[in-house]
Amino acid sequence: MSEGLRKKKILVVDDSEMNRSILADMLGDDYEILEATNGVEAIAAIKERESEITLMLLDIVMPQMDGFEVLSIMNKGGWIGNIPVIMISAETSSNLVNQAYDMGVTDYISRPFDGKIVRRRVNNTIMLYTKQKMLQGMIAEQILEKEKSSSLMVDILSNIVEFRNGESGLHVLHVRTITETLLKHLAEKTDQYDLNHTKIAMISLASALHDIGKISIDEKILNKPGRLTDEEFVIMKTHSAIGGDMLMNVAHRRDEELVKVAYEICRWHHERYNGRGYPDGLKGEEIPISAQVVAMADVYDALTSKRVYKPAFSHEKAVEMIMNGECGVFNPLLLECLQDVKEYLKEELENKTLKSVAEDEVQSMTEELIAKGDTIASDRTLRLLEQERIKYQFFASMSKEIQFEYNVDTDMVTLSEWGAKYLGVDELVMHPFEDEKMAEILNVEKMHEIRRKVRATNYTNPVVGGVYRLHVNGEDRWHRMTVRAMWEGTEEKMHYTGAIGKFANVDEDYKRMDSLEKEASHDTLTGLFNHMNARKLIEAVLAERQDHTYSLILFDLDHFKDANDQYGHLFGDNVLKHVAQKLTDNLRREDIVARVGGDEFMIFLEHGGNFEAQVKRIFQVVDGEYENFQISVSMGVSLAPKDGEDYETLFHAADQALYVSKRGGRNQYRFYDNSMKGTLSVLSPMDGEE
């Protein structure tokens, strides 16, 4: 592993300046110290520079967000697996310490700090993590590497050997299986060779290359039917050294572990434990374990295979010959291994075909990885948390809802991954009530309204809801909010710690409801308000009238019955629509225009004093022609507050004025005055005209 030139960074999280300073002094020579004065700052630092932070020293008792909350967020965010945390605190209660360990803390240093101890623990923890990381990295790499190269290499080599050596291609595979089996068993027996999974996999893989040097041996010698002469045997023996040289010449990959291991195997797989092998006559443990194991595998497979110069020996016979030293002396420990695994080996090799090799590989890789995974994430709690996190994430992403958590002490909102993406914000939002982006999504007053609602809940009834319009991706969408307040403590003394909840998109439902509501409050033919709704609106305006003045105008179309009779109802409807359109075009948005009966309309509008001109203008606006039908109206007007201050009175007065207009010959407008009191009503059933 190469050491970077830059110093590794340690994040020190402690509210006491003095403590940070002491730790900085103790560690400053070897590490770069980043400081955070509380949990909120710590999380911000992690979010920003996760990949740079090698280790975190974390105090427990801090204002704003304490150490445990930091750990809990680190667990949730999956950061705890990447950044080792050492707790530093004056706390000595074993409860707290245990809780810290449960939450994934690697080590615990209590005050007072001892410079040497702090340095050593920090170094150890970093080393441990680095090692673990490296291992994880290697396994990952190995899987990739395997997929890339292993089957390819096996294919190529099998072919080469098959073509040139006349041996069955299965030799390479057999050597590999035997090598792997022996190594695994050896690793169980002793740790003297430092055989971890990675190394075993690598040696097994490299074993395929053991005879690569044979490529350079003359075909006549290689494939000679019958025993080799001494001279030929000397040439044959060069294949191991040549194989080694070939690997050394893979210039740019010389430093790769796989190439190194392959080199050992190629050059030394004909060495023997007693120093009587070739090419270097290495003795005992001078021979790398990789080469020792492959040597035994090679011999075993040669014995059990048919050669031009010899028959295939049985499995039992081969083992016996090796045990007796008939094929050279082997490491006694390896001989023991062979004895232990011989039955298993026999079965394995009998069933070995090219296809099953590949399947086996996947199988064993998976098994080993699972086993390895256990040792890496030694802390069960962590894994459970991780699982919970995955579950939560999965469900959250399926639900297409914005899920959130708010913590009152830290004043921070955590959003579900999906929710954050949907809203286009970070998953962690500090100080949401002051956050500009949040304010764009939901207006600040609404946020405070929700906060008030939530805080007004109690322990037994903590859920509140509501429908809010969120501004997402440039458009407003309706969302139904459900929030549960989190209360903590005992019944007598509860305190509010935050809330969890969700926003679900109900935009379509709402838009549909919106239009239903509109339909209900509007006249379907003309799109104007209906009588009931107009009345409500007018009453609302009058209730807040203060010193404003209004006119209430009622009118109906003269001789409308003729239109219907002469041209049919459809035509009549079109006339009504035409009038409604004229009104809408010529009145202000705040004026209330309604169709209150068959051909009766009502207008309610504020007048700035000159009400007569206003009424005249409207009277003239509706006056005109629609497809040869002459439109004129009779109009009655009452004024607020002069003729009344409530809807009933005003409506009645306008109604009476209208009656007077009609009696006066139609096509005119009249303002109510006291002389009209007691006259008949147009809109009452007593209307003689209809």
Partner 1 sequence: MTIEEFYATFDPSGNEYANVMGRLATERLVNKYLNKMLDDKSYGNLKQAVADGDYKTAFMASHTIKGICMNLNLKPLADSSDALTEELRNDPDAGKVEELLKQVEKDYEFVADGIRSIG
Residues that bind partner 1 (CB under 8 A): 15-19, 21-22, 25, 61-63, 89-90, 111-116
Answer yes or no: are the C-beta atoms of 428 and 451 closer than 8 Å: no
Amino acid identity of residue 3, one-letter, is E
Interatomic CA distance for residues 378 and 383, integer angstroms: 9
Q: Name beta bridge partners: 631.
A: 624
Closest approach, Cβ 16 to partner 1, in A, equals 5
Interatomic CA distance for residues 582 and 621, integer angstroms: 7
Closest approach, Cβ 119 to partner 1, in A, equals 11
Which H or E run includes 494? strand 494-505
21 or 564: CB nearest partner 1: 21
Closest approach, Cβ 139 to partner 1, in A, equals 40
20 or 502: CB nearest partner 1: 20
Closest approach, Cβ 457 to partner 1, in A, equals 23
109 or 587: CB nearest partner 1: 109
DSSP state letters, 43-108: HHHHHHHTTTEEEEEEESS-SSS-HHHHHHHHHHTT-TTTS-EEEEES---HHHHHHHHHTT--EE
Which region, left, alpha or beta, applies to residue 275 given φ > 0 means left and ψ of -120 to 50 means alpha? left
Closest approach, Cβ 91 to partner 1, in A, equals 9
25 or 388: CB nearest partner 1: 25
16 or 630: CB nearest partner 1: 16
Closest approach, Cβ 105 to partner 1, in A, equals 18
Sequence-ordered list of residues with C-beta below 8 angstroms from that of 186, at least 6 positions apart, any chain: 193, 195, 289, 293, 333, 334, 337
DSSP character at residue 314: P
13 or 553: CB nearest partner 1: 13
Closest approach, Cβ 116 to partner 1, in A, equals 8
Residue 547 C-beta-side C-alpha neighbours within 13 Å = 1
Interatomic CA distance for residues 619 and 31, integer angstroms: 88
129 or 496: CB nearest partner 1: 496
Interatomic CA distance for residues 87 and 122, integer angstroms: 11
113 or 626: CB nearest partner 1: 113
Residue 250 in tokens: 């893979």
113 or 571: CB nearest partner 1: 113
Closest approach, Cβ 398 to partner 1, in A, equals 41
Interatomic CA distance for residues 404 and 396, integer angstroms: 10
Answer yes or no: are the C-beta atoms of 505 and 516 closer than 8 Å: no
**Cis ω before 462 (30° cut-off from 0):** no
Closest approach, Cβ 117 to partner 1, in A, equals 8
Sequence-ordered list of residues with C-beta below 8 angstroms from that of 292, at least 6 positions apart, any chain: 271, 273, 330, 331, 334
Closest approach, Cβ 69 to partner 1, in A, equals 15
Closest approach, Cβ 113 to partner 1, in A, equals 6
Closest approach, Cβ 20 to partner 1, in A, equals 11
Interatomic CA distance for residues 308 and 312, integer angstroms: 10
Closest approach, Cβ 14 to partner 1, in A, equals 8
Interatomic CA distance for residues 85 and 64, integer angstroms: 19
Answer yes or no: are the C-beta atoms of 80 and 389 closer than 8 Å: no
Interatomic CA distance for residues 126 and 120, integer angstroms: 10
64 or 364: CB nearest partner 1: 64
Distances (CA, A) of 332 to 77, 98, 214, 293, 325: 52, 47, 29, 12, 11
100 or 438: CB nearest partner 1: 100
End-to-end CA distance of the chain: 101
Interatomic CA distance for residues 322 and 295, integer angstroms: 11
Closest approach, Cβ 421 to partner 1, in A, equals 37
26 or 126: CB nearest partner 1: 26
115 or 424: CB nearest partner 1: 115
66 or 558: CB nearest partner 1: 66
Residue 295 in tokens: 């040597």
Closest approach, Cβ 503 to partner 1, in A, equals 33
Residue 69 in tokens: 């909350």
Distances (CA, A) of 598 to 83, 444, 569, 595, 661: 77, 47, 11, 8, 18
Closest approach, Cβ 27 to partner 1, in A, equals 13
21 or 443: CB nearest partner 1: 21
Closest approach, Cβ 90 to partner 1, in A, equals 4
Helix 332-350 × helix 289-304 angle, to 10°: 50
110 or 351: CB nearest partner 1: 110
Distances (CA, A) of 211 to 231, 261, 633: 20, 14, 111
57 or 334: CB nearest partner 1: 57
Burial 413-428 (b: 16+ CB within 10 A, else e): bbbbebbbebbebebb
